[in-house]
């Protein structure tokens, strides 16, 4: 594209309100670059938030590195631009949020995808309604099956995702995949609590929400497996061993010590030891949010006490069983344990992770045990930490060795107060985009052109969240011309 046509395109996009181009008005030298917006045309976007658009323009104007600004402008609105279907059900807002290149709604991903927009819901009533629609849709999903991780847009559909059609488990209508992942029930609670805090609106927290939250607590109690293995089982015929559960579909054995069993990790990979430590930390926080909302909104003290009592029990068990002594790192949190004394020393890029515990509000960044664990997970002692010529970061079994997840780099930047570390993370993330203008699921540590998933909305909006955070806490980093 010539200089003249670039300017003409810029003017055209201003005219139709395309923020992907409008933000560049404050970035020095934009007219001399080849960076054009990768957002869909304005008329093809799934949802428009004026508050988000304004943030892209104002924050983008502060970013001196044109490539970083370009990536930000593409990534932050990606969930709204491409993955949401906003409508109504029974006269109330109803919002489906697919992951991107998979046309299904994960409870975890959908919550995380809209999370960076929560800071804007107070200034954008339509965005608040969209998020309210996500909360209401998630309630319907939980009531349909609290053990499912993914749901189809049509909750009456009897056709799941293609790879789930022959799974040996109790499939329900509307379920896309039925992998029990303890964090799946925590993320909707986190979103609902934040929505309430940001807006003061209690309308989504009706009888259906209260029923869903009681079901969340009951499901977590059942998966303590104190007297039996519980109702959930899952098996899949697959050449990938992490896609199924051993032990007749109930997973490997663990001692019932008060922690919550999980069949699968946030990566959708099977747990080795069923007591996932970061997932259980997230459970504690989610139960405390449930208790608070039952007290303040529903005025149901009995339900609040049950939730807070379970939170105390899980927290106590974490204090006793979650730490172990690593031969190099010393006393740290394990990633998974079994209550018998066995512990798995690693971390996975997907959140909840050990690295991401402060991001979820589960501990302070300055916590000495977190800092010791952080040093471990960001070292070669972690079998899924990879350092290459392009970047360093955490991956996981899901896509194999030497593949770094941008998500892990973003979480690293969001959980450090060290500006030099933040700057390194920004540099690695910029390199990882491979000229595409977006984040990916993972990329090769030595070659960013080798990546997985062109369209992975969670990573995109999470990157947008990072830039928004840096603009508030360390704006001088964004003033660097060539990050």
Q: Give the tens place of pLDDT for each residue, 168-217.
A: 999 999 999 999 999 999 999 999 999 999 999 999 999 999 999 999 99
Q: How far apart are CA 42 and CA 15, in angstroms?
A: 11
249 in Cβ contact with 235 (< 8 Å): yes
**Distance (Å, whole) CA 362 – CA 402:** 29
- What's the whole-model pTM score? 0.93
H-assigned helices in 276-418: 277-293, 301-321, 368-377, 406-414
Cβ 13 vs Cβ 20: under 8 Å? yes
Domain ranges of the chain: 84-366
State mean pLDDT over 270-274.
Answer: 98
pLDDT for residue 453: 97
- Local confidence band at 34 (pLDDT 50, 70, 90 cut-offs): confident
Going by the DSSP 8-state scheme, the letter that residue 49 receives in this structure is -
Q: What is the mean pLDDT of the chain?
A: 93
Distance, CA of 321 to CA of 333 (rounded, Å):
9
Contacts with 242 (C-beta within 8 Å, 6 or more apart), sequence order: 269, 270, 397, 398
| Tens digit of each residue's pLDDT (9 = 90 or more) over 276-286 | 999 999 999 99
- Separation between Cα atoms, residue 331 and residue 323, nearest integer Å: 7
Find, among 400, 410, 404, 376, the residue nearest to 392 by Cα: 404
- Check pLDDT > 70 for residue 4: no
Quickly state the pLDDT bin for 442 (edges 50, 70, 90): very high
Share of the chain above pLDDT 70, in %: 93
Would you place residue 247 in the very low, low, confident or very high pLDDT band (cuts 50, 70, 90)? very high
Reported as half-sphere exposure (CB side, CA atoms, 13 A), residue 89 has a value of 19
Would you identify the CATH topology of the domain 84-366?
Answer: Glycosyltransferase (1.50.10)
- On whether the CB atoms of residues 394 and 384 are closer than 8 A, the answer is yes
Q: What's the CA gap between 117 and 83, in Å, rounded?
A: 14
| Beta-bridge partners for 404 | 443
Say if CB 67 and CB 27 are below 8 A apart.
no
Task: Give residue-wise pLDDT tens across range 308-318.
Answer: 999 999 999 99
Q: Tens of pLDDT along 141-158? A: 999 999 999 999 999 999
What average pLDDT does range 402-409 have in this prediction? 98
pLDDT at 7 over 70: no
Q: What pLDDT score does 347 carry?
A: 98
């Amino acid at each position: 594209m010539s200089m003249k046509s670039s300017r003409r395109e810029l003017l055209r996009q201003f005219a139709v309100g395309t923020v992907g181009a409008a933000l560049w008005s404050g970035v020095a030298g934009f007219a001399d670059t080849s960076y054009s917006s990768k957002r869909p045309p304005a008329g093809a976007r799934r949802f428009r938030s004026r508050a988000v658009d304004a943030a892209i323009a104002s924050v983008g104007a502060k970013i001196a590195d044109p490539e970083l600004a370009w990536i930000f402008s593409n990534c932050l609105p990606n969930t709204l631009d491409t993955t949401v279907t906003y409508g109504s059900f029974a006269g109330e807002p109803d919002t489906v949020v697919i992951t991107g290149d998979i046309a299904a709604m994960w409870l975890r991903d959908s919550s995380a995808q809209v999370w960076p927009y929560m800071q804007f819901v107070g200034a954008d009533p339509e965005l608040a309604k969209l998020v309210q629609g996500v909360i209401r849709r998630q309630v319907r999903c939980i009531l349909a099956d609290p053990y499912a991780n993914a749901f189809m847009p049509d909750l009456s559909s009897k056709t799941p995702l293609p790879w789930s059609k022959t799974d040996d488990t109790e499939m329900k209508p509307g379920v896309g995949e039925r992998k029990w992942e303890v964090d799946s029930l925590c993320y909707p609670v986190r979103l609902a609590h934040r929505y309430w805090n940001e807006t003061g609106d209690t309308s989504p927290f009706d009888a259906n929400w209260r029923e869903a939250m009681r079901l969340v607590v009951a499901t977590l109690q059942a998966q303590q497996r104190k007297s039996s293995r519980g109702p959930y089982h899952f098996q899949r015929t697959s050449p990938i061993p992490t896609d199924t559960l051993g032990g007749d579909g109930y997973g490997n054995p663990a001692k019932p010590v008060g922690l919550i069993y999980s069949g699968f990790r946030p990566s959708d990979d099977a747990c080795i030891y069923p007591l996932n430590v970061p997932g259980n930390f997230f459970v504690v926080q989610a139960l405390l949010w449930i208790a608070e909302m039952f007290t303040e909104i529903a005025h149901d003290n009995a339900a609040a006490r049950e939730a807070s009592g379970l939170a105390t029990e899980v927290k106590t068990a974490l204090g006793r069983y979650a730490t172990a002594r690593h031969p190099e790192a010393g006393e740290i949190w394990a990633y998974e344990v079994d209550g018998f004394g066995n512990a798995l020393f690693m971390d996975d890029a997907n959140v909840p992770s050990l690295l991401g515990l402060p991001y979820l509000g589960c501990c302070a960044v300055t916590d000495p045990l977190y800092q010791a664990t952080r040093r471990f997970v960001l070292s070669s002692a972690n079998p899924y930490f990879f350092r290459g010529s392009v970047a360093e970061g955490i991956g996981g079994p899901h896509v194999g060795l030497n593949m770094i997840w941008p998500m892990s780099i973003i979480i690293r930047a969001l959980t450090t107060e060290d500006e030099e570390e933040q700057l390194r993370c920004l540099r690695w993330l910029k390199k990882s985009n491979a000229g595409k203008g977006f984040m990916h699921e993972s990329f090769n540590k030595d070659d960013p052109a080798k990546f997985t998933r062109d369209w992975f909305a969670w990573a995109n909006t999470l990157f947008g969240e990072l830039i928004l955070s840096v603009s508030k806490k360390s704006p001088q980093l964004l003033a660097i011309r060539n990050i």
